[in-house]
Structure 1
């Protein structure tokens, strides 16, 4: 869910929208994203155009692009590692190795969530600084829906990373229990009497020897 929300926020065009309070024409509004700038009206017509070159874009937009792409890539590789590290899959090796793979996927989820959180917070900080700046005379914008989706996705990725990272301690505890399970099994082993001892019972002994042995052994000595 966190990865899906991060992808949805990355491709969305509603990172910021025009403020209706400062707009002269309320029937038309403009909303922008990391890749396109769109304009819509009350009729429902929407026209979008791409940002043609990255050299004319502002620096914070380029930084947000890189962070969101990094978050999506980290989330994709984390999902692939998580499928291998889960206990319900038959690939990945032992439980301890699966726990390490799950821990690595959790680290990727955590880093991806931090990248998405940083990008959305940086973009929102720029919008708010321009909105509350009395010296800023250009068009002012408000927070778009993509920012809230990105924040929710980053929170889910960070939470999922913590959950996967905790599986490493679970795997280590289970492996230690498996090692200590058969510690006492060697003491319960009873050796069988040798063949020579069995044949020695047929030898005829004197009454004195029988009396001496009866003191040391009970009736179940040869059972």
Structure 2
């Protein structure tokens, strides 16, 4: 598939997931239990107790709902407070992830060069993934507390055994959508982590024998004429010294020949 098409698909799926998560924070019936109205009785209606992240409510047989809001922050039940915090953290990550991915997508004309856009998309994918994990942790914390109370063998008298409501399932589906969108983003820019390897073939080295001073061969591949050649005055003095040595040797040999002949 095309890179831009996969990124658009990831954007739609992750956006749908965050929409589900945001909706669950405002929905009712996170936990619910109905009392009465059993055995086919049409006279006694069912009384319903339900709760969400912001209040506890009771709906009587006349369909009148009475609610008790959570007044202050530190008076909230600890597991409800933890669920709130985890969902808020996930939404914060999701906000920055949506911005990074939108700027770095191939179909947009902002964000700079291709390498910079890929890095933005990869960063947004990581933020989406972390936000989805945070949301899943929040829902699982709420479910764990409700299930532990419901299936407890030694439950005190007067404590209700709640069940799981619709927002929990909708939020879990939205969290998995967010993680799926993050994976789709990451697939399109995996070359940021695993770039192509370029192998350079080096030419074999050759050995160059040292060159003597003077002559037409006295040239190096870097400096033209030899850089280390002696100056001309030194060469001329050496040549004169060689000539004087030859003349001395010739004189000595002539004297020695005359003496031998005389003997």
TM > 0.5: yes
The 5 A counterparts of 1:54-65 are 54-65=73-84
* 1:40 alignment partner in structure 2: 59
Structure 2: which 5+ runs fail to align?
1-15, 39-43, 199-263
User: Do 2:34 and 2:46's aligned partners in 1 also have CA atoms closer than 8 Å?
Assistant: no
Tell me the CA shift for residue 42 of structure 1.
5.5
What is the SS of the residue equivalent to 1:67? helix
Residue 40 of structure 1: how far off its partner (Å): 2.5
- Which consecutive segments of 4 or more residues in structure 1 shift more than 6 A? none
Cα distance in 2 for partners of 1:66, 1:143 equals 20
Query: Residues 144, 131 of structure 1: CA spacing in aligned structure 2 closer, same or farther, 3 A cutoff?
Result: same
For 2:161, the equivalent position in structure 1 comes to 140
**Aligned pair in 2 of structure 1 residues 156, 8: CA closer, same or farther (>3 Å)?**
same
Matched with 1:72 is: 91
Structure 2 CA distance for aligned equivalents of residues 143 and 3 of structure 1? 21
Q: What are the Cα deviations for residues 15-51 of structure 1, in whole angstroms up to 9, with x where unaligned?
A: 1112558x9x752212111112222246544343421
TM score, norm. by length of structure 2: 0.60
Task: For residue 3 of structure 1, report the CA deviation from its aligned partner.
Answer: 0.6
List gaps (5 residues or longer) in structure 1. 180-223
Which of 32, 40, 44 pairs up with 1:17?
32
The 3 A distance-change label for structure 1 pair 20 and 107 is: farther
Match of 1:84 in 2: 103
Count of residue pairs the alignment pairs up: 176
Find the counterpart in structure 2 of residue 165 from structure 1.
Answer: 186
CA contact (8 A) 2:35 2:46 kept: no
Matched position secondary structure for 1:55: helix
- C-alpha distance in structure 2 between counterparts of 1:77 and 1:171, whole Å: 20
Paired residue secondary structure (1:136): coil
* Alpha-carbon separation, structure 2, partners of 1:26 and 1:55: 36
Deviation at 1:172, TM superposition (A): 7.6
Relative to structure 2, which stretch is displaced further, 27-36 or 141-150?
27-36
* 8 Å Cα contact 1:107/1:161 also seen in 2: yes
Q: CA deviation at 1:176?
A: 5.8
Counterpart for residue 154 of structure 1: 175
Distance 2:90 2:61 in 1: 35
Partner of 1:184: none
Report the alpha carbon displacement of residue 6 of structure 1 after superposing the two structures with TM.
Answer: 1.0
Query: C-alpha deviations, 1:103-133, integer Å up to 9, x for none?
Result: 1111111011101101111111111111111
What is the TM-score with the length of structure 1 in the denominator?
0.70
1:8 corresponds to: 23
CA–CA distance in structure 1, aligned partners of residues 115 and 139 of structure 2:
36
Q: How do residues 137-216 of structure 1 correspond to structure 2 at under 5 angstroms?
A: 137=156, 138-170=159-191
